[in-house]
Amino acid sequence: MSAVIIGIEGTMLLAQEAALLHRPFCAGVILFSRNYSSPAQLKRLCATIRAQRPDALICVDHEGGRVQRFRDGFTAIPAMGAFGRCFDRRPLLACELAEAAGVVIAYQLRQFDIDFSFTPVLDLQDPASGVIGDRAFHANPTVVVLLADALRRGLRTVGMIAVGKHYPGHGRVVGDSHHTLPQDPRDADEREPDRYPFIRQIESGIEALMPAHIVFPQTDHRPASFSPVHLAELRALGFDGAIISDDLDMAGALDITDPAKRIQAALDAGADVTLMCNDFTAIHQALTRRYFHRDADASARRLAALRDQPFDAATLEPAYHAAQEKLRTHAAQLL
């Protein structure tokens, strides 16, 4: 039973990393800029991962803007906030461009046998959050929903699932959970606008969600990523997709010092799988341990739905080129 998606060190799969892929609780690999030097290299790396573990999840943070891990040889996707600014002037065009961006992201990643990107960001745009900022589409939750819907249409055109983040909303919270454990003291009524995009995406069938390493003390003293209260709330809203923890190496997760206990705490809270991205010692240590899911069969089903959807590059090529052309033609609208 898979429990953790791991980061790897460089542009080639090391022998000890190949061995980790065969551990029963390893779910797959998340890739970063350190794992990329060229398209040819990325193709070799993904093929090597698949040869070691055909059912591995291969994923990446490839949102666009400052969070785009692969650049040389890939289309530069604007930050999602650019689509929001365009929406304020030309809402129909903004949705068309967001859909085109989804097609380009998915097509370019799927060519390398990468299953999915962690996108879209469903947080609200607010100057209070430097870490989110223009990664968010807009400050208006209804606009976030419309643009996220459009991006997801583009992803689905190419057979890629979406992962919405960071539930129940990071955009209006001061502090970066990469470096600290932020707190949001607002009550549920005050946070309703932040939750709105997630609720609407659940209603429209989003396949996966990522909870935030943020404490909401009015609800629970634990970060949302470790909170049975928050993750049960997702299920109560009707969400039956995969819950994927944010990186358990981040400072917002380090109140639990033992990496294996961190993984188990997230699973106990209701996550289907976790991420451990950058602490390679912790990754090796964690994969020597056993883990237990609250509902192993349901988690296995949810994770299987994220894997390798059918992809026919030749059939999808016209849609891809049309999407690229739309983004090129209207690039000035996204400045």
Positions marked catalytic: 178, 246
User: Quick one: tokens of 65?
Assistant: 């803007």
What is the DSSP code string of 35-100?
G-S-HHHHHHHHHHHHHH-TT-EEEE-EEETTEES--TTS--PPPHHHHHHHHHH-HHHHHHHHHH
How far CA 162 is from CA of 68, 89, 188, 286, 298, in Å, comes to 16, 27, 26, 27, 19
Neighbours of 230 (CB within 10 A): 23
Q: Among 175, 257, 235, which Cα is nearest to 265's?
A: 257
Q: Which residues contact 117 (CB under 8 A, 6 or more apart)?
A: 59, 60, 61, 62, 63, 105, 106, 109, 160, 163
Q: Among 24, 52, 63, 69, which Cα is nearest to 277's?
A: 69
State the first-to-last Cα distance of the chain, in angstroms, to the nearest integer. Answer: 45
